[in-house]
Every structure is written in C-alpha cells, then in structure tokens.
Amino acid sequence: MKLDRPVTGGPCWTELGTTDIEAAKRFYAAVFGWRPETDPRQEAGGYTVAHLGDAAVAALSPLYQEAQPVAWNVSFAVEDADAAAQQVRAAGGTVLLGPMDVFDVGVLTVAADPTGAVFQLWQARAFPGAGLVNAPGSLGWVELMTREPRQAEAFYTAVFGWTVHSSERYTQWGIAGDDFGGMTTMDEKFPPEVPPHWLPYFAVADVDTTAADAAGAGGDVLMPPTSVPDGPRLAVLRDPQGAMFGVYLTRDAD
C-alpha cells in the first residue's frame, strides 16, 4: 500500500467479527503482537481495539447478527456518509445498515457491491481510522475476491473514483495512482459456497515466521508463503474461529 494514512476513498480500518473475542485476542497477540483494549461501556458490546504501541491498528468485535459470518471486514473512508450511501445505490449496490452514528467517533454504513462482496463506509469524526498503516503488524493491502470483475470495477470506480491498473496477472486499485489494493477473479478453485469478499492483508517483517506463528497459535495456513513474480512474498492464513486474512512482506523489511 502506497498510502501511509487514511485518505478519502481509501481503506481506513479493518475489524474482525468473531464468535470468541478472548480467543481472538490471544491469537492475534501471538501473531502480530497486538495489545487489545476492550471498550468497557455496555453499549459498546465488547468492541475491542488492537494497538501496536499507541497506534490503533484493527478491531475485534462480537457478531451482532445470527447471519453474520466470522470474517474480517474492510472500511473505506468517506466525507459524507449519506452521499456515499446514495452513490452505492446509484451504482447498483445495496446498503445493508446505516448510515448510523457510532457514539461521537464517526458514522458507519455497511454495504454490498453488485457482486455480493460486503464492505463498510466510515465517515470520521473523533476517530479517523488506523493510526499505523503499511508497517509490520498493521493493515497493508486490501483485496477484492469476486466472480464478476468487470461489474465490480464499474461499481467501485463509480462510487469512489478509484484509479485502476490492470495487467495480465492482476488488477490494482488506487487513489490518484497510489495503489492500496487489488482484485482477484474467483475461478473454479474457489468452492461455490465461498461468497465474494474483501480480504485484508497485514504487513509483516517475515512472512514465513508469521505463518509459522499462526499455525503454532492454532490457525491454518491456507496458502503457504509464496513469492509473487514482480510482487511481494505473501501468505493467506485462517484464525481458529475461521476468519481468513493475508500477510505480506512490507518493503521496509526488504
């Protein structure tokens, strides 16, 4: 990710919806060294923010609805939540929840693109998003997994104005050319029951060690550490409750 802070239209936050907050705290502390802090207010419902040093890097949250899957969710920064929700609908997407005020910290909207991938919109107030980006243990890349790449490209460029850089191997999303994510077409290797989704990647100093740490903490290595031609070394992992995420070698560690 070329972006070093949350910017309008770009990814600004990622949060895990899980069935076991305490287990998630232990797992991600072992893998990334996160320090979790749970909001003590009853109305916060156990929402937990993970820190590296003093910087907030991600959140761990209970599942709030029966149909909600155990998964990582990606939020994109917007200046006006109501206007962004209207843009989502106009481009063929669906607003699933909100816009709704979250205390005094911001306005949250949950939406789905026309291909079925769920994502979040965040209008910041007191909380702008991640305080650390593209550093070991923090969000470094976001990837859309979809079976309808052309429809997805038309949607996201209409809603966010993203720039698109496509090659034979991969499509990358950017803000004014500063790439922050990409898109992978789900082919026959993906089971039909796996829905389109956004997958966060966390930057790490050593992909192989991180994958081993995840396995040692009870997680699974879905894609073993791999060096991508003309790209980074990366791996895809799954935590003990079933949430998938990626890790990649940050350039600062090269």
Which residues of the chain, if any, have pLDDT below 70? 1-3, 251-254
Six token digits for residue 90: 């106009």
Q: What confidence score (pLDDT) does residue 16 get?
A: 97
Q: What confidence score (pLDDT) does residue 1 get?
A: 58
Helix (H) or strand (E) run with residue 159 in it: helix 149-160
For 113-157, what is each residue's pLDDT tens digit? 999 999 999 999 999 999 999 999 999 999 999 999 999 999 999
Among 182, 185, 215, 227, which residue's Cα sits nearest to residue 201?
182
Phi, psi angles (nearest 5°) of residue 114: -65, -15
Which CATH class for the 11-124 domain?
Answer: alpha beta
Contacts of the segment 60-69: beta carbons below 8 A, 24+ positions apart:
60/15, 60/16, 60/18, 60/21, 60/24, 60/25, 60/28, 60/36, 61/15, 61/16, 61/17, 61/18, 61/21, 62/17, 62/18, 62/19, 62/21, 63/17, 63/18, 63/19, 64/17, 68/17, 69/17
Architecture of domain 139-253: Roll (3.10)
Phi, psi angles (nearest 5°) of residue 141: -165, 150
The two domains 11-124 and 139-253 share their CATH topology (first three levels equal) = yes
Q: Domain locations in the chain?
A: 11-124, 139-253
* Predicted TM-score of the model (pTM): 0.94
